[in-house]
Structure 1
């Protein structure tokens, strides 16, 4: 009797052990599949070169007009808002809680455009995180570049982004910043090149552009006091020469060491906090890019000294020297997250590649100008991804255009978590575009 009971107990233990082993195997198999999926996403979507529109004949797209469309929501023009005065955030047409994405699942702000007669009008849409501070990582290289070119223009109005610095073409350099690859005369060292532009502009100058000098955000927490690398791009000569004229300036100064800039602050300076020495918000970054994108159409908010051709170089790399590339600049910004989400929303259940969907819907004239940044933060014990982009979708609902800034983070500071962070961001994009593009 006792022996029979013992046999039953033993059999039960064997069954339980088998179930545990099976569950463990299934769990390991699931984890392996998830890891493989994330690895593919990281390589094929996040790190991937961008897909480009079929029609690049009009690469500038700086004078395009968003067609008049009957919108259900209110938009306000720059005249109505008066961006020249502080606290303009309280005067814009805005729904700061428009997107039903919990702030814990990522920060997101979209500035949506509408044409009203001969004026642009805007509405600001967020998920309640527009004033949350974060480290922008490499997405802020756009601010570094436009600030540097404006500083050079202030030195000589005839000299801007259509130029060479020693043996290096400026359009090649900004393209390399975005593509992280050699391009024309640029070597692909994005961090070193971007640090050079910071050191041309100067950190006090860049930080002031967020404040009284231009954006007037009235947020003293925002700063641009750091760099991207200790290694700094060193041009063969400090001489800048225009590629459009004979204008030459032989002594454009820059700091050859980051800490030589009196305004430089260490990453964990006393006033920096956990967000470090380049602290920004989605509102700050999106507003900067929105004003660049609307430069020729919105004289009231133009960046001081910057000219339309400078923005054309930033957005499209016009004047670059790489004969194998049709376009450069932010059009070469890595990642296919935005294009994939757009195609998924605009053509549900269409399994074709995003490029085919977008080309068909927009006659090949869609545009996504973008700059992504990411990294693991030991300071915050998180892994983070930031995206700054401007999107143009002609023929979609009469023409849609918007600027966005987004930030996502997951716990744990490790590059192994980058894919999971990117997947979270793309899920937010897809969800947000559904909300945005359903509105007329």
Structure 2
């Protein structure tokens, strides 16, 4: 089936996580085959859509439920110590999707009185299955590094050497130039991982923060051939008259080779949908759930991750995770909304999202993808936080999903992407069909 839509084509010279993206102009009305190479280039590589009303930040979209509701649990009810996952409200077979359809974990939000509460939903008990996160783990590299610097260095005019921090984080997500940042997503994320250190990054999944309860999860790798090297080691924020040297280590004893003795087929950054979704969920609720804030991370740093305030003009005119390349999550959410609200049939993806939410939707996302010679597969991973202030009832959730197919080629990455979009569509449709209660 072919669809006609407005897109910007971005030709990828390699997989997400391995190369920069070179933007080119595509026909304004493009006929898109949702499979293979065309899907890879025109959907996975497209600039994101933006809401009609992007101004409001720290959106609150969680619906209210009774304080006695046991379908959702607050952090006070589950705690944050080891074992909190077992105490959470969860159903790891909530989605009637077999494991060969892909892996997905959704953290669904609600408000119980003044507190946010959550339920954890998955398919076929896949929430603990290890996979390579590809570039979705760049969210972790940025957050960890920013938790080690003060609030002064997460401002709209902060410079990393000669580059604006807002342009660095925007390039990481968009794979495109933003200001003087040249779109080398891998090099910037490599630099941030070096600043944070792999021992610290790995500890965040365990006793230092998440207490995810799965020791195999770790962050011991890097991205691409080499890290970004700023013109000097100084970060500067002119508006605050501050500067400080942040030196990336020449070598990190915590970094391991991709196929280290303890790494297995999933490489040196193995994660799960549960670990990835929980990491992003705690960032998305940073101001609303103080008990689960990443120690040292400021409000300004979280805002920098999501919106990249202060970013330079770029092709998407967006910053941070709002600039994340790919139309996959937008198309999946729009298709689910059309199934939920038949009056939206026949509209474009942009029109569906804007009309359903009065222009106030938010989709913050990071895509990761590539062909794996190690596993003989082509894989796509999505990590997203979604806010839908619908007239018939608001919904808010964080989702991590992964899909793969046999055969390692860029054409097959496109097939895996189309498979993941279908997984996301079915997942979101089921969330919308079943109201929070």
Q: Does 1:269 align with 2:269?
A: no
Contact 1:382 1:409 in 2 (8 A): yes
Q: Does 1:308 align with 2:329?
A: no
Contact 1:149 1:161 in 2 (8 A): no
More helix by percentage? 1
Q: In 2 relative to 1, CA 397–70 (structure 1 residues): closer, same or farther, beyond 3 Å?
A: farther
Q: Deviations over 1:157-209 (max 9, x none)?
A: 54335521111111100100000000012110011111000001010010001
Contact 1:92 1:124 in 2 (8 A): yes
1:287 maps to 278
- In 2, Cα distance between equivalents of 1:101 and 1:243: 52
1:82 maps to 79
**CA apart distance, 1:226:** 0.6
- In 2, Cα distance between equivalents of 1:325 and 1:382: 31
- In the TM superposition, 1:4-403 aligns within 5 A as 37-58=35-56, 60=57, 62=58, 64-68=60-64, 74-83=71-80, 85-127=81-123, 128-153=125-150, 158-160=152-154, 162=156, 163-249=158-244, 251-256=245-250, 260-322=251-313, 326-348=317-339, 350-403=345-398
For 2:265, what is the secondary structure of its paired residue? helix
Query: How many equivalent pairs are there?
Result: 398
- In 2, Cα distance between equivalents of 1:109 and 1:188: 30
- In 2, Cα distance between equivalents of 1:235 and 1:67: 44
Q: Deviations over 1:322-376 (max 9, x none)?
A: 3776531000101111111211121236121111011011110000000000111
**CA apart distance, 1:38:** 3.1
Q: In 2 relative to 1, CA 37–387 (structure 1 residues): closer, same or farther, beyond 3 Å?
A: closer
1:404 maps to 399
For 1:151, what is the secondary structure of its paired residue? coil
- RMSD of equivalent CA atoms: 2.0
TM-score by length of 1: 0.87
- In 2, Cα distance between equivalents of 1:133 and 1:215: 16
Q: In 2 relative to 1, CA 126–68 (structure 1 residues): closer, same or farther, beyond 3 Å?
A: same
Q: Deviations over 1:402-439 (max 9, x none)?
A: 00000111111111201110111111111111211111
Question: Structure 2: 5+ residue runs without aligned partners?
Answer: 1-30
For 2:177, what is the secondary structure of its paired residue? coil
Contact 1:133 1:280 in 2 (8 A): yes
For 2:371, what is the secondary structure of its paired residue? strand
2:17 maps to none
Contact 1:63 1:297 in 2 (8 A): no
Contact 1:295 1:301 in 2 (8 A): yes
- In 1, Cα distance between equivalents of 2:372 and 2:54: 38
TM-score by length of 2: 0.87
- In 2, Cα distance between equivalents of 1:300 and 1:352: 42
1:13 maps to none
- In 2, Cα distance between equivalents of 1:65 and 1:279: 31
Q: In 2 relative to 1, CA 107–243 (structure 1 residues): closer, same or farther, beyond 3 Å?
A: farther
Contact 1:68 1:398 in 2 (8 A): no
Question: Structure 1: 5+ residue runs without aligned partners?
Answer: 1-32
- In 2, Cα distance between equivalents of 1:35 and 1:324: 23
For 1:43, what is the secondary structure of its paired residue? helix
- In 1, Cα distance between equivalents of 2:338 and 2:404: 29
